[in-house]
Structure 1
Amino acid sequence: MAESANPIPRKAAPVRTKIDHLRLDVVGPVATLTLNRPERHNALSLDMYHQIPEMLSRLEIDRTVSSLVIRGCGLRAFSAGADITEFTTVRAGAEGARLYNLAVAEAERAISNFHAPTIAMVHGFCIGGGCGLALSCDLRLADTAAAFGITPARLGFAYSLESTKRLMDLAGPAEASYLLFSGRRVSAERALWNGLVNEVHPPEELEKVTYELAVEISKRAPMSLRATKEIIGLVRAGQVRDDDYTTALRNDLFESSDYIEGVEAFLGKRPPHFSGC
């Protein structure tokens, strides 16, 4: 199936930004970041890692974006991982590796800390650094042909603590150990079983259901989404009880226009129209 030119209903003209091998499209409240290097199975170069935070920072300014889809170009691969041809050049030596790993961490944090819910749409291979980007998203939807692999042990280095924690939070310590120690690729079926992905669909249906979910999320109260995402992040960081900050974060919502609109819409049996304030 060819990549669709119209993945979501276009009520407004799309806004497109392209830098080298990344493409950012914004259609209404849904943004799409495409890893656009199909000739290399969307392998991630150092430049791409540097550019991801830059591109997402543009969306942080425009809070009309309520959901973000990250995908690979085409149907063969979400990403084959970090571009291994750079391992003997920009990633060579301890200092080169340190700077490279810093760029990877900053790209993954830019996704993880993005203000709106993020969805990785995984067609085909999702390997190594590509898996790291997907795990940085809030949700992951995959097609039945998807294959996941985390491969540092095959190449002689180690996954970062942050990336390892994301993996363990999703799959648990036993499954994370299996994936990291063996370096084996696992199917979409196993990824669904172990918690790496939320849903699995036939390849020809994945784009449709992913954007339906993105649009559905974009119709929810933006302030509620932002607060919930922040609270989830605090829980994952180890916080187990509400403190003054989280209590205020929740209580402030009761004075928001979104809360008033949500209640009035529910009582009036009509769809809500949230303003994000």
Structure 2
Amino acid sequence: MSEQKKDLILTKEGSIATIVINRAEKRNALTHEMWKDLPDLLNDVEEDENIKVLIVSGAGKQAFAAGADISEFNTLRASAEGARVYNEATQNAEKKLEQLSKPTIAMIQGFCVGGGLEIALACDFRFTSDTGVFGITPAKIGIIYNLAGTKKLVDLVGPARAKDILFSGRMLDAEEAYEIGLVERLYAESELTEKTYDYANLLASRAQNSIRGLKRVITEVEYGAVVESKEIEDLILQSFDSDEYLEGVKAFQEKRKPVFK
């Protein structure tokens, strides 16, 4: 099945959902409307019990998303108040993507710049082809990047490299992005789609109770937790009462692959 929000397309095949940024003629430049529409598609993915993994990609081969639609800098983003409205939409969409309980993969080829890289940073994983080009360019246009996106960038590459990327506004090729940890996997262009969906299907075959719980625990660690809260402790202990735990133990004892529902 598929659902379209003008320039965003959601498709589902088996246990894998894909959201395509669909403005290939504009190198998938992001508009305010697209940022507002993205949470609705993410809610659909969250609520569909059959979906276990989300992949986000860009239409065509030129770009994942080449940043914001420049025309909106002279309209909606022409003042501080307009920028506030725009930023609320972008931050809401990024937060919704980051907090999705299911694993998310940004599948990147071509330009992944500005808002495009913000979306990729909000995903759990970033897989790129050797055509990938990465950058965040606030210093080229006189704006300041948001805190949530900056934190994610710093967490991935460290403070000094984050400063280099943001202060200089320079473009990084796929190899450098991989070397500094901005992306997790680097593939030939011809292999990217197959390898990304192979990994998504691998995740879909694992215990979803474990994956979603571990995603929650890792998020707590990212935001500074060093001891377990009562909520996290309960989450961990409840996993021992799950059907997936029973199947996992049984499969291990029977020396076979587990089959999780």
Letter in 2 for 1:84: I
- 1:116 pairs, out of 102, 105, 123, with 102
Unaligned runs of 5+ in 1: 1-14
User: Partners in 1 of 2:34 and 2:255 — Cα distance?
Assistant: 46
Letter in 2 for 1:92: A
Unaligned runs of 5+ in 2: none
User: Partners in 2 of 1:135 and 1:178 — Cα distance?
Assistant: 17
User: Partners in 1 of 2:50 and 2:158 — Cα distance?
Assistant: 35
Letter in 2 for 1:126: C
- What does the per-residue CA deviation read over 1:208-266, in whole Å, with 9 as the maximum and x for residues that have no partner? 00000001001111111110111111111111112222111111100100111111112
Calculate percent identity across the aligned residue pairs.
43
- 2:52 is equivalent to residue 39 of structure 1: no
- 1:254 pairs, out of 216, 233, 240, with 240
Query: Aligned ranges for residues 15-26 of structure 1 at < 5 Å?
Result: 15-26=1-12
Q: How far is 1:61 from its partner?
A: 1.4
RMSD over aligned CA atoms reads: 0.8
| Range with bigger deviation, 55-64 or 121-130 | 55-64
Match of 2:68 in 1: 82
Query: Aligned ranges for residues 6-21 of structure 1 at < 5 Å?
Result: 15-21=1-7
Match of 1:227 in 2: 213
Q: How far is 1:271 from its partner?
A: 2.1
Letter in 2 for 1:25: T
User: Partners in 1 of 2:258 and 2:77 — Cα distance?
Assistant: 50
User: Partners in 1 of 2:132 and 2:239 — Cα distance?
Assistant: 39
Match of 1:71 in 2: 57
User: Partners in 2 of 1:66 and 1:117 — Cα distance?
Assistant: 7
Match of 1:103 in 2: 89
Q: How far is 1:75 from its partner?
A: 1.2
- 1:125 pairs, out of 101, 108, 111, with 111
Q: How far is 1:170 from its partner?
A: 0.4
- 2:20 is equivalent to residue 30 of structure 1: no
Q: How far is 1:84 from its partner?
A: 1.0
TM-score, with normalisation over the residues of structure 2?
0.98
Match of 2:39 in 1: 53
User: Partners in 2 of 1:82 and 1:150 — Cα distance?
Assistant: 11
Q: Look up the SS of the partner of 1:140 in the other structure.
A: strand
Match of 1:241 in 2: 227
Match of 2:160 in 1: 174
Q: How far is 1:268 from its partner?
A: 1.5
**What is the number of residues matched between the two proteins?**
261
